[in-house]
Amino acid sequence: MMLHIPEVLTAAQVIEIRKTIEAEDWVDGKATVGAQGAKVKRNRQLPELSPTGLKVGQSILKALANHPLFVSAALPMRYMPPLFNRYEGGEHYGFHIDGSVRSIPGSNLSLRTDLSCTLFLSAPEEYDGGELIVADTYGEHAVKLPAGDMILYPASSVHQVEPVTRGARISSFFWVQSMVADDGKRGLLFELDQNIQKLRAKLGDSEELVGLTGHYHNLLRQWAIV
């Protein structure tokens, strides 16, 4: 399931983050990929353990924790600290698939990459190209969102970033381990939760809604790995 998560950050937050990270030293993006990814990756990133990047990343995770749509869709259990990349001057990242398990920098923990997140920090009019292309059984989907918005999609997807031919595409990217590993089950829970919320807003609480909410939590209890 691909999902557009709007307004993760306010315009003021985007401006502040951009001002903070753009003053940092950027390194070759190949530092965070394996041999296969290094063959097709051409961009720059903040170092994984950059104090500035880690601090800004925590502010992003705090914003996401308070975003009901994200929580409903991702059912997050563990996060990879957000990283930051930039593409310009023709830089791109060819088709690839993210690794299934990643070590969390600065810790002894690992993370199963159930979901990939790209949070756009550049407005679409600031650059040409740079679309995130995600391929699935329905074809290829091009994503280029407003600054402050995020795309959430299965980390099992083959994807790429098109060359940036004008300006700079700056974003944050990271992975989430969900309480529910299976994308299909997670999607069913998301749809059930969203419909329960819509019914509650329209009709108020009722015996039937209490029953549906119980079904949601019983399914989550059955499928969750915590």
Which residues are within 8 A (CB) of 138 and not within 5 positions of it... i.e. 6 or more apart?
none
DSSP letter for each residue of 79-128: EPPPEEEEEETT-EEEEE---SEEEPTTSS-EEE--EEEEEE-S-GGG-E
Nearest Cα to Cα of residue 113 among 7, 211, 32: 32
Overall residue count recorded for the chain in this entry: 226
pLDDT band at 33 (very low <50, low <70, confident <90, very high): confident
Crossing angle of the two packed helices 51-65 and 11-22, in degrees rounded to 10? 160
CB contact at 8 A, 144 and 131: yes
Residue type, 94: G
CB contact at 8 A, 93 and 161: yes
How far is C-alpha 53 from the geometric centre of its chain's CA atoms? 16
Q: What is the pLDDT of residues 136-156, one digit of tens each?
A: 988 999 999 999 999 999 999
Q: How far apart are CA 49 and CA 102, in angstroms?
A: 15
Q: What is the dihedral of CA 35, 38, 39, 41, to 10 degrees?
A: 160
Q: What is the pLDDT of residues 169-197, one digit of tens each?
A: 999 999 999 999 999 999 999 999 999 99
Q: What is the pLDDT of residues 12-24, one digit of tens each?
A: 999 999 999 999 9
CATH superfamily ID and name for 3-178: q2cbj1_9rhob like domain (2.60.120.620)
Mean pLDDT of 57-73: 98
Pairing of strands 92-96, 168-178: unpaired
In this predicted structure, what is the pLDDT of residue 37?
Answer: 75
Class of domain 183-223: few secondary structures
In this predicted structure, what is the pLDDT of residue 39?
Answer: 86
In the chain, ranges of CATH 2.60.120.620 domains:
3-178
In the chain, ranges of CATH 4.10.860 domains:
183-223
